[in-house]
Structure 1
Amino acid sequence: MSPRAGSAGHHTLAFVESPVQLLNVLEWAHAHALRTAGSGAPGRPAAIPAQGGPRSGEGRTSADDAGAAGHPAPGGLTLVVLSPTDPMTRGQLRRMAELARDEGYVVRWEEARGGTAAPFQTIGGLTRLLRRAHRVVMGDPFSRYVQLLLTITRARELVVVDDGTATMEFVAQLARGERLVRWHRKGGRRGPRDLLFAPVSSSARRRLTPSAGRTVEVFSAMPIEEVPAGVTVTANDFSFTRARFGPPRITKGADLVGTSLVETGVVDGERYLEAVMALAQAHGARRYFAHRRESPEKLHNLAVRTGLEVVRPDLPLELIARRGPIGRTVLSFPSTVVHTLPLALAGTEVRVAVCDIDPAWLTNGASPRAQGFLSGVTGAARDVDRLPSTAERDVSAGQDVAAG
């Protein structure tokens, strides 16, 4: 399943759309020893490029051009960035792309959403690489872009790396033979675009089902209970991150990790601000690490009302935390980091604590699946402390009064 990077006929093509996906491809490649001859020796601290790296498609190297003509890159792994339009995500992706190049991997930046014609140009330009690739690695099997690309490839090996907690839902849906749909949209009505894309999504699900001529691997730090028949699950322990960065300097007090649950329509904005304020006061939090999808307006309001220093990280939080400085306690709501940070910070004295989402915080438009999914994310987390939600604190307080 894991031949060396330079093995003839085993070229790997990886598609990423977020900084975390790119980090997890690097973790996967590190775990499978997919290293090029020119990459750094294991354990050597990686150089992090300065902020303000190449914009959009600038800064292409000869390594980029090696993949541009449809020929496999010399190192055996080509990372294709399907660039989003969000400025924060693009900035983090540029820095992660430079880190990947420093590790000796080929990075090809695609302006995949840069106008009406961009998807056709991107897919047309990648067709030859897709047809030649023996292995395809993807960070988001729910992505319509990725699902469309899967209809083109003849790859005999497919790999799904973590795209956060969505990986848990993907594996469960695959095991149950369900259509692929993101957890926060599940239960909602399918729109015209969903219906139009349904055949492509169905084809992608079939291709992601192991067969006699095709293997499927899931590389994940998430707890996976339902494993589809024939799927290989490999644990991501963040060995690349730990080998390259840290250990961090640990500061007093706590840091709080933000979430985009308000932006996705799951949690009410006012209730979320109240919860952040209560957590910050109870635990002496000083900094708030914003999720890349959180809106500037929300973050400004949060800073004014809570007094927290809002930090917009330019790298995935696992790298930020590992480099430090980081608070002795890291507070989070149910999200990917309650699973990944304990792994990235293994061997340090940092404590990760998670606060449950109170059902009263959910919006009227939240998916019926939302509460159960978020509770599952918290309940399955290892090596974290659980903090009670508002509802649980109220019940506990009521019991104490009754007992008294």
Structure 2
Amino acid sequence: MTDSPPRAQPLAGLRVLDLSRVLAGPWASQILGDLGADVVKVERPGSGDDTRAWGPPYLQGADGQATRESAYFLCANRNKRSIAIDMASPEGQQQLQQLAAQADIVLENFKTGGLAQYGLDYASLNALNPRLIYCSITGFGQNGPYAARPGYDFLIQAMGGLMSITGVPDGEDGAGPQKVGVALTDILTGLYATIGILAALQERRHSGLGQHIDTALLDVQVAALANQASNYLVGGVVPRRMGNAHPSIVPYQSFPTADSDMILAIGNDGQFARFCQVAGHPQWAQDARFATNPQRVAHRSVLIPLLRQTTVMRTTAEWVSALEQADVPCGPVNRLDEVFADPQVQARGIQVDLPHPLGTVATVASPVRLSATPVQYRRPPPLLGQHTQEVLHDWLASQPADPSQSTQLAQATS
């Protein structure tokens, strides 16, 4: 019996022309690159993607000195090639149109209608390449009264309701709306954009035609409210900020311990009964006020202080050890240094170190685990314009591939 030949990555052979910058668009194109697509990132000569300047911190070079490659840029741009083209110039527009004619996917996050002046909008490029899948990412979408407005993650977290349900409850110290500690709306928009692109690719197999994907940060943020949005639509009650507590499950929040904090994520009555046994208060599970989740929710104000008085009697490690043995979901509140030192994180290989032209760059692995066609980390995040001549040759056969020219151009434009 002979071994089967290795299978190609899922998106191998697909070409992505990435006109996006900052986070939502680059996050989507990085996923496509991780899955095997040839992603070409188009950047402004001289400055490049805005996030290249969003530091410190910056990558440390082999000599230990900081480079001009920001950590922010590095997080969302591996498995791509960078070309530096001025789309405001007639020559640049012609080159980009030629590249789009050879592409399977164009990804952009300019203001609505902003690329029409360059002949790079969907209508113009669809005329050149009817098979093209064109994904637009904007703050508010291609239509509606806000369509022309710029949209940023922080703004959309506020307008889309996320900040109204995030933060310390009213009446407590530090009360007020809070944003999430990472640009979550951008990340989720990148994921939804990727899903839309994959769906359009599947449909193209039947029709032979591409289509326009309209992805808006506001749409994504409202959709991602999930049960909180449903609670309002079904129950008619506006959700409120509850800190780390859950509106429908108790106890499901953080609790102080003797040395730090821990999370209890008790999702059913059996788990609660087992917690009570470990905590030395089995009677709580028999108390009519606490025996079922609806009753625990109704009597939250009584139960939570009792739990807090108990959890402070042991350290986080002691609680986690005892509760894990009882099959009660719990865990520490880790700092990022503790996250990357966690044995489970290390066992899963979540940190991936890639060789970079300026040294070594540490990245976070893709969470997509495919058994037969796994993600490959083929390229580190590129230098600005590093692959201009190479890409023009590969896609257009218009210029000879000369690595030395690519290096010189990258140095000239970085």
Report TM bin, short chain.
Answer: under 0.3
TM-score (norm 1): 0.26
TM-score (norm 2): 0.26
